[in-house]
A and B are shown apart, each in its own frame.
Chain A
Amino acid sequence: MILDDLPVLPVIIPLFAAPICLLLPNTRLAGSFATLIAWVSFAFAAMLLATVAEVGPIEYGLGGWANPLGIVYRVDLAGAIVMTLVSLLASVVFPYAIESARDEIVPSQTSAFFAMFLICFSGLMGVVATGDAFNVFVFLEISSLSTYTLVALGAKRDRRALTAAFTYLVLGTIGATFFVIGLGLLYQVTGTLNMTDLHDRLQGADNKVIRAGYAFIFTGLGLKLAMFPMHRWLPAAYTYAPSAVTAFLASTSTKVAIYAMLRFLFTIFGFSFGFADIAFGFFLVLGLVGMFYASTVAIFREDVKMILAYSSVAQIGYMLLGISFATVDGVGAALVHVFQHAVMKTTLFMAVGAVFFALGSHRLSAYKGLGKTMPVTTGVFLIGGLSLVGVPLTGGFISKWVLVQAAFGSVQAIPSLLIVLMIVASSLLAVAYVGRIAWTMLLEEPTSRTPRKVPLAMMAPMLLMAAVTIYFGIDAEGLVNICRAAAESLLDTGLGYGGAM
Chain B
Amino acid sequence: MGHLILRVTIKLLFAPILLFALYVQFHGDYGPGGGFQAGVIFAAAFILHALGFGLGSCQRVIPPNWLPVGMALGVLIYMGCGFYTMFLGGNFLDYDVIQPDSTHHAGQHIGIVVVEIGVGLAVAATMLQIFYAFAGREPEPMDDAW
A interacts with B: yes
Could you tell me if A61 and B91 are in contact, using CB atoms closer than 8 angstroms?
yes
Could you tell me if A23 and B92 are in contact, using CB atoms closer than 8 angstroms?
no
Known A62-B93, A64-B94, A159-B146; judge A12-B72 contact (CB<8 A): no
Could you tell me if A20 and B91 are in contact, using CB atoms closer than 8 angstroms?
no
Chain A proximity mask over B109-146: 1 for CB below 8 Å, otherwise 0: 00000000000000000000000000000000000001
Per the bound structure, the CA–CA distance linking A62 and B90 in Å amounts to 10
Closest to B94 in A: A64
Task: Specify which chain A residues have a CB less than 8 angstroms from the CB of B96 in the assembled complex.
Answer: 64
Interface residues in A13-70 (C-beta closer than 8 Å to B): 15-16, 18-20, 22-23, 60-64
Could you tell me if B92 and A5 are in contact, using CB atoms closer than 8 angstroms?
yes
Closest chain B CB from A163 CB (angstroms): 12
B48 CB within 8 Å of chain A: no
Task: Specify which chain B residues have a CB less than 8 angstroms from the CB of A22 in the assembled complex.
Answer: 68, 71-72
Closest chain A CB from B111 CB (angstroms): 9
Could you tell me if B91 and A62 are in contact, using CB atoms closer than 8 angstroms?
yes
Per the bound structure, the CA–CA distance linking A431 and B72 in Å amounts to 48
Task: Specify which chain A residues have a CB less than 8 angstroms from the CB of B55 in the assembled complex.
Answer: none
List residues of B whose CB falls within 8 A of some A CB.
68-69, 71-73, 75-76, 79-80, 82-83, 86-87, 89-97, 146
Interface centre among A18, A19, A20, A61 (most CB of B within 10 A): A19
A334 CB within 8 Å of chain B: no
Could you tell me if A20 and B76 are in contact, using CB atoms closer than 8 angstroms?
yes
Closest to B73 in A: A19
A456 CB within 8 Å of chain B: no
Interface centre among B69, B91, B93, B97 (most CB of A within 10 A): B91
Closest chain B CB from A10 CB (angstroms): 12
A8 CB within 8 Å of chain B: yes
Known A12-B82, A15-B79, A159-B146; judge A23-B72 contact (CB<8 A): yes
Task: Specify which chain B residues have a CB less than 8 angstroms from the CB of A62 in the assembled complex.
Answer: 91-93
A1 CB within 8 Å of chain B: yes
Per the bound structure, the CA–CA distance linking A277 and B118 in Å amounts to 47
Closest chain A CB from B124 CB (angstroms): 15
Interface centre among B69, B92, B146 (most CB of A within 10 A): B92
Per the bound structure, the CA–CA distance linking A414 and B48 in Å amounts to 64
Task: Specify which chain B residues have a CB less than 8 angstroms from the CB of A5 in the assembled complex.
Answer: 86, 91-92
Task: Specify which chain B residues have a CB less than 8 angstroms from the CB of A63 in the assembled complex.
Answer: 91-95
